[in-house]
Structure 1
Amino acid sequence: MNRRPAVTAAALCLLATVAAAVPAAADPTGAAPADRGAAGTARLHGTGGAVLTAAFGDFAGDPVRFELDARADVNTDPRTTRGHFHVRHVHTDGRLVADFEGDVTCLGVGGREAIATGVITKGEAPWFPGLTLVGQKVAVSVEDDGPRGDRLGWVWGAFGLPVADCQGTVPFIRTTGGDFTVRG
């Protein structure tokens, strides 16, 4: 019996239970949001990889890689957001689990943390035959932790989890390479 889809779905459901909108963090300088940059602009940019933990069951040890480039003229305003994302997940035996990319539809930044939500425009998930990726929403959360390594979190709508603009989960896994920059 193949338990991979059930284990993956259970892990993703666990992640969905901690999904919540991230409020903007207070600026330690006390500056109002309008004082911190041009017209409340927000930015998330970078590439990072992580190795999945035991919480991911049969996918433990698998490398995943994220590329994100998103900007918003007004923080958390989907009408001013533009950008792109790309995610690649390969199993420890070298087989492709999923590879997809798409357009960022909303960017929310608070302090060193950001949530980028988007819609998949192209992709494949050979590990999950019949799974439709194109048109599904995703949310990727990033904590820009400087030289200590960043943290990532994610929610995939393709597995039936709800994803709303600028809403996601806490960054729950430390990156093992790459670097993300969060500004806003």
Structure 2
Amino acid sequence: MRKTIMAVLTAGAVLAGTAAPVSAGQTKPRPTEPSLVGSAKTYRPEGDDVRFTFDAHGLGPDARGTFRVSHYLGAEGGWFAGDIDCLIVGGRTAVVTGVITASSLPEFIGVRRGMTVFDDGRRDRVGYSWVLDPGSTESVPKCLSSAPFEWVESGDFKAVEWLPIQGPRRS
């Protein structure tokens, strides 16, 4: 019995020593604001090339940054880009909105779109407010989007949570 306990303790000590990604004395810096950064291509079995890029920083309506979305099937499709006007990050999920400032489809300039990212390492997901009505030129309210329903095929997003208050401690 004693040999079993010692073997388990030794294995635990070895694993604990090798699992630490930061060397002793170093701590991971705490973020000073929420952010959503990265680029990715969604999985589309039909061959569509759908891509999202975000560089968003800041909390709520004080957020700033840019976004770009493109959707092509062969030579057909379009793109739009704009300025971020809201970012909320909770855990690994980020909701961002922004107003389109440039587009291959001029009717979308000035429209606010919402996008959601679930940051799950290399298995990220993304959603967007126009899923049910892609041709709509109606703006969504700030900080509003859909569930992240599309799978990322390549690329990566990084959502960093930061809130001015700390949540409850979990044991």
User: Fold match, TM over 0.5?
Assistant: yes
In the aligned structure 2, how far is the partner of 1:116 from the partner of 1:166?
A: 6
Residue number in structure 1 paired with 2:124: 150
List alignment gaps of at least 5 residues for structure 2. Answer: 1-29, 162-171
SS of match in other structure, 1:146: coil
Of the candidates 67, 75, 88, which is equivalent to residue 53 of structure 2?
67
List alignment gaps of at least 5 residues for structure 1. Answer: 1-35, 54-59, 126-130
Cα 1:138–1:158 shift into 2, 3 Å: farther
Cα 1:121–1:160 shift into 2, 3 Å: closer
Q: Give the TM-score normalised by the residue count of structure 1.
A: 0.65
Q: How many residues align?
A: 129
Of structures 1 and 2, the larger Rg is shown by: 2
Give 1:162 deviation, angstroms: 4.9
Residues 1:99 and 2:79 aligned together: yes
CA contact (8 A) 1:155 1:161 kept: no
In the aligned structure 2, how far is the partner of 1:110 from the partner of 1:122?
A: 29
Q: Give the TM-score normalised by the residue count of structure 2.
A: 0.69
Measured on the aligned residues, the alpha-carbon RMSD in Å equals: 1.9
CA contact (8 A) 1:137 1:158 kept: no
In the aligned structure 1, how far is the partner of 2:113 from the partner of 2:44?
A: 18
SS of match in other structure, 1:135: coil
SS of match in other structure, 1:132: helix
In the aligned structure 2, how far is the partner of 1:81 from the partner of 1:119?
A: 12
Residue number in structure 2 paired with 1:84: 66
Q: Which residues in structure 2 correspond to 1:167-178 (within 5 Å)?
A: 167-178=144-155
In the aligned structure 1, how far is the partner of 2:67 from the partner of 2:47?
A: 23
Cα 1:162–1:101 shift into 2, 3 Å: closer
Give 1:51 deviation, angstroms: 3.1
CA contact (8 A) 1:87 1:99 kept: yes
Moved over 2 A (4+): none
Q: Which residues in structure 2 correspond to 1:1-184 (within 5 Å)?
A: 37-38=31-32, 41-52=33-44, 60-72=46-58, 75-76=59-60, 78=61, 80-91=62-73, 94-125=74-105, 132-147=107-122, 149-156=123-130, 159-184=136-161
Give 1:61 deviation, angstroms: 3.3
Bigger relative contact order, structure 1 or 2 (CA pairs below 8 A, ≥6 apart): 1
SS of match in other structure, 1:46: strand
Give 1:97 deviation, angstroms: 1.1
In the aligned structure 2, how far is the partner of 1:162 from the partner of 1:105?
A: 12
Give 1:66 deviation, angstroms: 0.6
Cα 1:117–1:68 shift into 2, 3 Å: same
Q: Which has the higher helix share?
A: 1
Which amino acid is 1:172 matched to?
Answer: F
Give 1:160 deviation, angstroms: 4.4
